[in-house]
Chains A and B, each alone.
Chain A
Amino acid sequence: MHAPSASISRAQAIVAALLAAVCLVPFAYLAALSVADPWTFPALAPEGWSLARWGRMLTGAGALGPSLSLSLGLSLTVAIASTAAGYVTGKFIAYHPWRRRLLVLAYVPFVMAPVILGVCLMYLFLRMRLAGSVAGVMLAQTMFAYGFSIIFFNAFWSARLKAMEDLVATLGGTTAEAYWRVLLPVSVGMLLICFFQTFLISWFQYGLTLLVGAGKVQTLPLKVYDFVSEANMYYAALASCLLVLPPVALLWVNKRFVFRQGLGTT
């Protein structure tokens, strides 16, 4: 039981307010820039406000609608595939006699920069004729998300879970029954956390998508950069809003799960 909190000091309150403001300013700025009509130098605030840009987005201007759909489909697929694969592989590695050696191998796709490793992987993607395709981008992103998923679930598969599985076998249960009735129900929370994290890994991915997709797979991060390159800051802000909205919604729902044996691999 925690004792009732004492009131915080004035200095703590001021710093806390400043920190909250710093956390909120990016979202407020992006939202303001996306509806500014216009916002030219040296004005501190937009000279006018308009939702016309958002309306044009919904009718297809800037191809943001298709990019949003593509990003959603890509990220959902990558999250499902990498979570499922990591769940199984994490178990294989966790109970393996060579656990530490295999874990070192699993760290490579997780730790390495996607762009640098992607440059090396391009040979395979070109040979398999996957470069410049959605399937190729999906496979490349899954590879990196899979590395995260293995490390995530490796910490999850413990001696306690092994004992539960062995108990099912002792009582005459099959493998399928062990998973369906015991392991999966116990794993639901962790599966959701991993799904959420691997979704974000794919959702935010820019460099690897640009490299493997050869610029043809126009996900939302690519659209942000395209608009920045065109000096179209208003649409860049709009695309940025679309990019951060789903993760904010997911965080709002799942924030209590984020640091429970998940993101911090300590």
Chain B
Amino acid sequence: MSEGREPVLHPPSASAPPGPPDAGGARASAAQRLRRLVGGDGIGAVGLVLFVTIAVLPIAVSLGYALLYSIGAVGLLSDGLTGAHWQVLVQEAEIWRAFGWSLYIAGATVLLAISLALALALGLHRPLSEGPLSTIIYLPLAIPGTVAAFLVFQLFSGAGWMARVALTLGLIDTPAQFPDLVQDPWGIGIIAAHVGLAVPFFVLLFGQIYESERVRSLMELAATLGASRSQRLYRIAVPILLKRAFTNVLLLFVAVLGSYEIPLLLDQQSPQMLSVLTMRKYGLYDLADKPEAFIIALLYTALVGVVIALAFRYGHDAYDV
């Protein structure tokens, strides 16, 4: 018998005395259930301890502290339980404008990035599978948000490279005539940076799904059955790619929603995206703003919880076996 491990096979023992079948079996069954719940073997138990001490406890304690701070139960300036900080949500629009602004940026990014990635993945399937583009497309994955923000600023600001091209071509006479593409009221720079980072990833992901789901074979079959090109695209290829990538699309939405590095450089002063606003309220000298930082964090956590629930609810494919 191997040490510390359950044997898979349980050969019947002729020498074992017959006892009350249910009591012994029930105890052994309960012990086995408990053993499975806490990890089964030593390695599993280590996994449980790590999970609780690194992932579960710190986050639970932190969110609990945030809640207590937001209702005045703890904190340097707390005078006891109060709903005054949460009343700010009703009295001032800054937090709601930040949520609205962040949702707009995230929604626009997802819409543009997924549309562009689908078009490229389906339209350039062969160049993306073989040839130099199949390697070059990986390079943007190495660019972090910090560098993407810096590049967008350098390329699209009033004195950036695109402004210089426009000046050289005679499209503008002064830098002030170049349209506002960064720190602008439509978030064009922020959206461009996020789309630039997301498109290569989703092009590669859609390409992988295209191969693994044999979309080409399905489309050829549909053609054999008389489907037009647009029917093959919009009723076969696009639904399969979007359904299989659904979880990743949701994760992109959440990632952009909570983005910090890019809006820190490219965003306007008001409204600000959620992470930037949270950092500002937490880190500046006015301690009275700290509860609002925790309120934003709690509302954001609730929103993320809804997204995770959606991902688990709709992320499984009906035709998976």
Contact = CB atoms under 8 A, between A and B. Distances in A.
Interface string A94-128: 01111010111111110111111101111110000
B143 A236 contact: no
A266 B244 contact: yes
B46 to A, nearest CB: 5
A19 B133 contact: yes
A29 interface: yes
Contacts of B294: 119-120
Contacts of A106: 51, 55
Interface string B253-266: 01101111100110
Contact of B154 (A6, A33, A105, A108): A33
Contacts of B151: 26, 29-30, 240
A105 B150 contact: no
Q: Which of B6, B146, B247, B283 has the most CB of A within 10 A?
A: B146
A206 B167 CA distance: 35
A213 interface: no
Contact of B2 (A90, A173, A224, A248): A173
Given A108-B308, A116-B278, A24 B257 contact: no
Nearest to A208: B260
Majority DSSP secondary structure for residues of B touching A: helix
B43 A88 contact: yes
Q: How many B residues are at the interface, by size bracket?
A: 35 or more
Contacts of B209: 264, 266
A167 B2 CA distance: 12
A23 B136 contact: yes
A135 B38 CA distance: 29
Contacts of B260: 113-115, 206-207
A26 B301 contact: no
B81 interface: no
B146 A124 contact: no
B2 A169 contact: yes
B58 A265 contact: no
Nearest to A163: B8
Contacts of A88: 43-44, 46-47, 50
B30 to A, nearest CB: 13
A221 interface: yes
Interface of B: 2-9, 33, 36-37, 39-44, 46-48, 50-51, 54-56, 58-59, 61-63, 65-66, 120, 123-124, 126-133, 135-148, 150-151, 153-155, 159, 161, 163-165, 167-168, 175, 200-201, 204-205, 208-209, 244-245, 247-248, 251, 254-255, 257-261, 264-265, 274-275, 278-279, 282-283, 293-294, 296-297, 300-301, 304, 307-309, 311-312
9 contacts: A19-B120, A30-B147, A88-B43, A104-B312, A116-B275, A170-B7, A179-B43, A251-B139, A266-B209
Given A19-B133, A85-B50, A169-B6, 5 more contacts: A44-B161, A97-B36, A105-B55, A264-B245, A265-B247
